[in-house]
Amino acid sequence: MRVAIFAMGTRGDAQPAAIIGAELARRGHEVVLGVPGDLASFGLRMGLDTASIGIDAHEFMGSEEVRAWLASGDLWKIMNGFSRYKRQQTERIADAMADISAGADLIVSGVTTEDEAACIAEWRGVPMACLHHAPMRANGDFPFFIASTRRLPRVVNRLMYPAVELAGWRVLAADVNRLRARLGLRPAREPTPRRLARAGSTEIQAYSRFLVPELADWGERRPLVGFLTLSPEQRRLLGEHQLDPAVDQWLDEGEPPAYFGFGSMPVLDPPRILELLSTVADRLGLRALVSGAWATTGVSTDRRVCVVGDLDHDTVLSRCRIAVHHGGAGTTAASVAAGLPTVVCSVIGDQPFWGARLERLGVGASLRFPEMSERALVAAAAPLLAPEPRERAARLATRLKTENAASHTADVLEKIHRS
């Protein structure tokens, strides 16, 4: 079959899409990957036919205005800003996706391109599968994570989702129906999730049933496949399989450190954050390994602190004592798979959900990135250094190793095509 896979966002969106594409290509299927132009390397280096969906991830996420919103934790400004940006680019994105999907037998889409992909799949008369990195549809176990991560009555949880979908539809309806008109489709009168449900579209849950056991048997339409993580060979293709010798030596010369990394999240004042993290590690009695493009363009080490750019999590985290990061699904998967108790300092999206999950499972703690202070970080991390959280994290890591998300996802997609 020919499969078109779309993802819009940061590395946390593009990389899982490329992993699925690589597994399908390995099985002999024809794959085309559509991602922001500045993330195309994830597909190209894995040998996939890769095209830009007409934008660059840095256009939105890298702007000073958005960085300030993210750092402040003002979720509604972030969401409204993203909606405005996407509305400005919607024709360019949709045109690129329509071209990329030519000849496809199946379309797979992440959340941020779901509305466009659903229209294009209907136009082409082919099935569509969704890719979700946290629970996005109505269930009684969890509230919609953007609104809350608290324990709420099951009926409240269930009612929250259609209310959020309708609110989003009021914003998106005009744009979706303009696209549908351009494609010669009738106007839609209900949100995309409802149309997908009526069509019986599969919504792949790309996270572990061991972290979200409440949804382990969510149903055939929503299989929990596990976290989509890079294989050793894929890390080699991406050039991330070798650790800088200076970092390797630093790790060998002392006790396992605390790992601090915030991915693509904004750090507006790197010197202040570096000083904060160094102080926190010192109060915990640990060394500090600080990673991120925001931190440095090289490697800086002293006896207590090592500062480096982006790192291969698989190589480094197993040599650490505890992790502190933003709580993206991919980074959460990496720290849990390494058996590390984890402090999530969440900024946006599903990050608060994963922080709350780790806290509920007794292997982590959660706070918001704007609330990150010496006192808050020490209070969150110190209890996780006890033997019990470490033992629980190790047991969870062992369970995660039983999942093969890429293979499971490819099985699901092949079954859709056969049916």
For 16, what's the count of Cα atoms within 13 Å in the CB-facing half-sphere? 30
Looking at the 3D structure of the chain, how many domains does it have? Answer: 2
The answer on 273 and 180 residing in a single domain is no
CA distance 13 to 5: 11
Residue 232 lies inside a defined structural domain of this protein? no
The answer on 366 and 274 residing in a single domain is yes
Domain that holds residue 85: 2-227+403-418
For residue 135, the model assigns a pLDDT of 97
CATH number at residue 164: 3.40.50.2000
CA distance 344 to 363: 11
Confidence of residue 104 (pLDDT cuts 50, 70, 90): very high
The answer on 332 and 192 residing in a single domain is no
CA distance 255 to 56: 41
Residue 57 has pLDDT above 90, yes or no: no
Handedness of CA 7, 11, 16, 22 (dihedral sign): positive
For residue 74, the model assigns a pLDDT of 67
Residue 360 lies inside a defined structural domain of this protein? yes
Give percent of the chain above pLDDT 90: 74
Write the pLDDT tens digit of every residue in 2-53: 999 999 988 889 999 999 999 999 999 999 999 999 999 999 999 999 999 9
CA distance 301 to 290: 10
User: Which residue has better confidence, 53 or 263?
Assistant: 53
The answer on 386 and 283 residing in a single domain is yes
For residue 189, the model assigns a pLDDT of 95
Write the pLDDT tens digit of every residue in 318-370: 999 999 999 999 999 999 999 999 999 998 889 999 999 999 999 999 999 88
Cα maximum dimension of the chain: 66
For residue 353, the 8-state DSSP code is H
For residue 171, the model assigns a pLDDT of 86
For residue 399, the model assigns a pLDDT of 97
Phi-psi bin for 153: left (phi > 0), alpha (psi -120 to 50), beta? Answer: beta
Average pLDDT over residues 152-170: 94
For residue 295, the model assigns a pLDDT of 64
Residue 47 lies inside a defined structural domain of this protein? yes
- The SS3 of residue 132 is strand
Write the pLDDT tens digit of every residue in 289-330: 998 766 665 567 788 999 888 788 888 999 999 999 999 999
The answer on 352 and 214 residing in a single domain is no
Residue 357 lies inside a defined structural domain of this protein? yes
The answer on 157 and 87 residing in a single domain is yes
Tell me if 404 sits within 8 A of 214, measured CB to CB: no
The answer on 146 and 278 residing in a single domain is no
Average pLDDT over residues 66-79: 69
Kindly report the pTM of this predicted structure: 0.93
Question: Which tokens is 343 given?
Answer: 């402090």
Strand order in the sheet with 305-308: 300-301, 305-308, 288-291, 258-261, 322-325, 342-346, 364-368
Give the E-state strand segments of 105-167 in sequence order.
Answer: 106-110, 128-132
Tell me how many helices (H) and strands (E) the chain has: 17, 13
User: Which residue has better confidence, 111 or 80?
Assistant: 111
For residue 241, the model assigns a pLDDT of 76
The answer on 82 and 27 residing in a single domain is yes
The answer on 155 and 93 residing in a single domain is yes
The answer on 160 and 73 residing in a single domain is yes
Residue 233 lies inside a defined structural domain of this protein? no
Considering the chain, what is the average pLDDT of its residues? Answer: 92
The answer on 262 and 115 residing in a single domain is no
Residue 236 lies inside a defined structural domain of this protein? no
Tell me if 319 sits within 8 A of 255, measured CB to CB: no
The answer on 279 and 247 residing in a single domain is yes
User: Which residue has better confidence, 78 or 57?
Assistant: 57
Tell me if 131 sits within 8 A of 29, measured CB to CB: no
Residue 20 lies inside a defined structural domain of this protein? yes
